[in-house]
């Protein structure tokens, strides 16, 4: 287990009891999520861009078009803030003030570095692909040299990291527990549905088991 030392920037101050700073908490959240939000500043203007990601060990990988302003900015060494949030349920309290959500979130701060070598780049793209659907990389056509050139891959070290989690029922004011108002949690799990084949799929190609039996 890795223990992330809280810094001035990652120390959770609002409801600190919900905070965690260890890999046993952080990594499962990152491994379950699909989308991260990447925050950065260009000429004083802040931007927050959603994008896919993947993790291997203590590194987070993001990728995109080489023409992307986000990736060009981060390649130049700009500070970055990456967040991942999983919504687990709506917390419905008796009082409007105490409504909340059950969630798991991670905040990562630092600077990313560009992946240059061909084999290292392919490995990072494999990590990104397998993060979304395990087993997919072995089936797909791998990127050509031209596609690799058009793609930027960045690695962000998981060093300055914090997690924040809320679980459990609503927390109402004591006197409100006597009110005749329903209260509780509405879970919102991510549940895969039946796969929908591409209309142009060649006849006779079966749905892979990792799609039929997908789970998160």
CATH number reported for the structural domain that contains residue 63 in this entry: 2.30.110.10
Q: Which domain holds residue 46?
A: 16-171
Q: What is the DSSP string of 72-132?
A: HHHHTT--EEEEEEEEEEEEE-SSGGG-EEEEEEEEEEE--EE--SHHHHHHHHHHHHHHH
What does the pLDDT read at residue 15? 78
What count of other Cβ atoms lies within 10 Å of the Cβ of residue 132? 11
What does the pLDDT read at residue 18? 84
What does the pLDDT read at residue 215? 87
What does the pLDDT read at residue 41? 96
What does the pLDDT read at residue 16? 80
64 lies in a domain?
Answer: yes
194 lies in a domain?
Answer: no
Quote the tokens at residue 54. 């993947």
> Alpha-carbon distance 99 to 183, whole Å?
9
Sign of dihedral through CA atoms 141, 146, 149, 151?
Answer: negative
**Contact, 10 vs 22, CB < 8 A?**
no
132 lies in a domain?
Answer: yes
50 lies in a domain?
Answer: yes
**Contact, 167 vs 86, CB < 8 A?**
no
Non-local CB neighbours of 39 within 8 Å, separated by 6+ positions: 46, 47, 48, 80, 81, 82, 83
133 lies in a domain?
Answer: yes
29 lies in a domain?
Answer: yes
Tens of pLDDT, residue by residue, the chain (216 residues): 778 888 888 888 887 888 888 999 999 999 999 999 999 999 999 999 999 999 999 999 999 998 999 999 999 999 999 999 999 999 999 999 999 999 999 999 999 999 999 999 999 999 999 999 999 999 999 999 999 999 999 999 999 999 999 999 999 999 999 999 999 999 999 999 999 999 999 999 999 999 999 988
Per the DSSP assignment, residues forming a β-bridge with 38 are: 49, 82
What total of structural domains would you count in the chain? 1
What does the pLDDT read at residue 28? 97
pTM (predicted TM-score): 0.92
What does the pLDDT read at residue 132? 95
85 lies in a domain?
Answer: yes
84 lies in a domain?
Answer: yes
């Amino acid at each position: 287990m890795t223990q992330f030392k809280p810094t001035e920037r990652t120390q959770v101050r609002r409801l600190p009891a919900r905070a965690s700073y260890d890999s046993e908490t952080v990594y499962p959240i990152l491994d379950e999520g699909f989308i991260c939000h990447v925050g950065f500043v260009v000429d004083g203007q802040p931007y927050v861009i959603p994008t896919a990601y993947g993790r291997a060990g203590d590194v987070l990988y993001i990728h995109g078009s080489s023409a992307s302003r986000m990736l060009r900015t981060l390649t130049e060494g700009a500070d970055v803030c990456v967040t991942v949030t999983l919504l687990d349920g709506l917390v419905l309290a008796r009082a409007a003030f105490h409504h909340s959500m059950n969630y798991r979130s991670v905040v990562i701060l630092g600077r990313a570095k560009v992946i240059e070598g061909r084999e290292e780049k392919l490995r990072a793209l494999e990590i990104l692909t397998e993060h979304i659907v395990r087993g997919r990389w072995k089936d797909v056509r791998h990127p050509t040299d031209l596609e690799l050139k058009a793609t930027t891959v960045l690695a962000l070290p998981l060093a300055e990291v914090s997690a924040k989690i809320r679980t459990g029922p609503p927390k109402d004011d004591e006197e409100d527990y006597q009110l005749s108002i329903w209260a509780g949690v509405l879970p919102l799990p991510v549940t895969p549905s039946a796969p929908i084949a591409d209309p142009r799929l060649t006849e006779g190609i079966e749905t892979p088991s990792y799609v039929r039996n997908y789970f998160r």
